[in-house]
C-alpha cells in the first residue's frame, strides 16, 4: 500500500519543519509528501523549495487570495500517485508511530479520519479534539448513518480512486471557513464508500484557539449538496 501525504498550509512555516522531521523519520512507510500552499507570506515558499530537493517531496504554491483550502489541496490531490491519500493540515504533524498505525489499521477502499491530539507549541499535551471519546479510543469504528458529520478534514484517509471519482474537493467552498470536509465525506458516502473513525491513527495538532464559525456562503453550498447527495 502506497500512501501519499498531502499537506495544505497557510502561514505555518514554524510548524512545517516538525512535519518534515517526522516524514523523514518515517519515509520508508511514505510514498510521497505533497505540500500545497495557499500563498503564505511567512517564508513557507522557501521551505517548500528546500524540502522539494528530496525527490519524494513536491510542493505547489498559489497566489494569496485567502481561505481557499479546497483549491489549494486539489493542486496536490490531482497529482498524488499513492493508493491512499492521507491529508495532514499545516498546523499538524505526525507522531513517531503514525505511519505504522496507518499501515496496520487503514482498511483499503475506505475513507475516514484519525484523531488529533491538541498540543501546545512546545509539544506538551493540551487536549483531545472534540471527537475524542473514551469508549471509542483505540478502536476502528464503522460510521453507518450520516457519517459525514462525525468526521473532519484533518488526519483524513481516503482511497485515491474514490477521491478521484468524486472529483476531490468542491472548490466552490473557500469564501471562508467550514463544511468543505463534510462535503467530501457526504459525496463519498453517496457513492458507497465505507466511512470509519480511525481512533488509533493520531497526529499532533498545534492548538491555536477555537475554530471560526462556518461561513454563511459555505453553509448554503453544503445545504444544496446535502439535498442533492444525501441518501434517505
pLDDT digits (tens, 9 = 90+) for 75-88: 899 999 999 999 99
Q: What is the pLDDT of residue 65?
A: 64
pLDDT tens-digit readout, 123-164: 999 999 888 989 988 899 999 988 999 999 999 999 999 999
Q: Which residues contact 161 (CB under 8 A, 6 or more apart)?
A: none
Residue linked to cell 500552499: 37
Q: What is the mean pLDDT of residues 216-223?
A: 92
- Contact (CB, 8 A) for 41 and 17: no
Q: Tell me the residue length of the chain.
A: 232
Q: What is the mean pLDDT of residues 194-207?
A: 96
Cell of 95: 507522531
Q: What is the mean pLDDT of residues 197-212?
A: 89
Pairwise CA distance, residues 204 & 92, whole Å: 5
pTM (two decimals): 0.94
Q: Dmax of the chain from CA atoms?
A: 49
Pairwise CA distance, residues 35 & 9, whole Å: 7
pLDDT at residue 67 tops 70: no
Q: What percent of the chain has pLDDT over 70?
A: 96
Backbone angles phi, psi at 81, to 5 degrees: -120, 0
Least Cα distance to 109 among 152, 155, 149, 160 occurs for 160
Q: What is the pLDDT of residue 130?
A: 87
Q: What is the pLDDT of residue 64?
A: 65
Cell of 21: 522531521
pLDDT tens-digit readout, 10-33: 889 999 999 999 999 999 999 999
Q: What is the mean pLDDT of residues 113-130?
A: 94
Q: What is the mean pLDDT of residues 200-224?
A: 89
Chain mean pLDDT for the chain: 92
DSSP H or E stretch at residue 5: strand 3-9
Residue linked to cell 492548538: 207
pLDDT tens-digit readout, 158-199: 999 999 999 999 999 876 778 999 999 999 999 999 999 999
Amino acid at each position: 500500500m502506497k500512501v501519499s501525504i498531502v499537506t495544505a498550509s497557510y502561514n505555518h512555516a514554524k510548524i512545517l519543519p516538525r512535519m518534515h522531521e517526522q516524514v523523514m523519520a518515517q519515509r520508508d512507510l511514505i510514498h510521497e509528501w505533497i505540500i500545497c500552499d495557499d500563498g503564505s507570506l511567512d517564508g513557507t515558499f522557501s521551505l517548500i523549495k528546500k524540502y522539494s530537493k528530496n525527490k519524494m517531496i513536491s510542493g505547489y504554491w498559489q497566489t494569496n487570495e485567502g481561505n481557499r483550502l479546497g483549491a489549494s489541496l486539489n493542486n496536490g490531490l490531482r497529482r498524488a500517485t499513492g493508493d491512499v491519500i492521507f491529508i495532514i493540515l499545516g498546523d499538524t504533524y505526525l507522531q513517531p508511530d503514525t505511519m505504522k498505525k496507518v499501515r496496520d489499521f487503514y482498511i483499503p477502499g475506505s475513507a475516514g479520519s484519525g484523531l488529533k491530539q491538541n498540543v501546545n507549541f512546545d509539544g506538551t499535551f493540551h487536549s483531545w479534539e472534540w471527537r475524542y471519546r473514551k469508549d471509542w479510543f483505540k478502536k476502528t469504528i464503522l460510521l453507518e448513518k450520516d457519517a459525514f458529520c462525525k468526521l473532519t478534514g484533518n488526519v483524513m484517509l481516503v482511497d485515491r480512486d474514490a477521491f478521484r471519482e468524486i472529483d476531490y474537493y468542491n472548490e466552490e467552498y473557500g469564501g471562508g471557513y467550514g463544511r468543505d470536509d463534510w462535503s467530501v465525506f457526504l459525496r463519498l458516502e453517496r457513492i458507497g464508500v465505507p466511512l470509519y473513525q480511525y481512533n488509533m491513527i493520531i497526529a499532533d495538532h498545534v492548538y491555536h484557539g477555537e475554530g471560526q464559525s462556518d461561513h454563511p456562503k459555505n453553509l448554503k453550498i453544503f445545504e444544496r449538496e446535502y439535498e442533492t447527495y444525501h441518501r434517505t
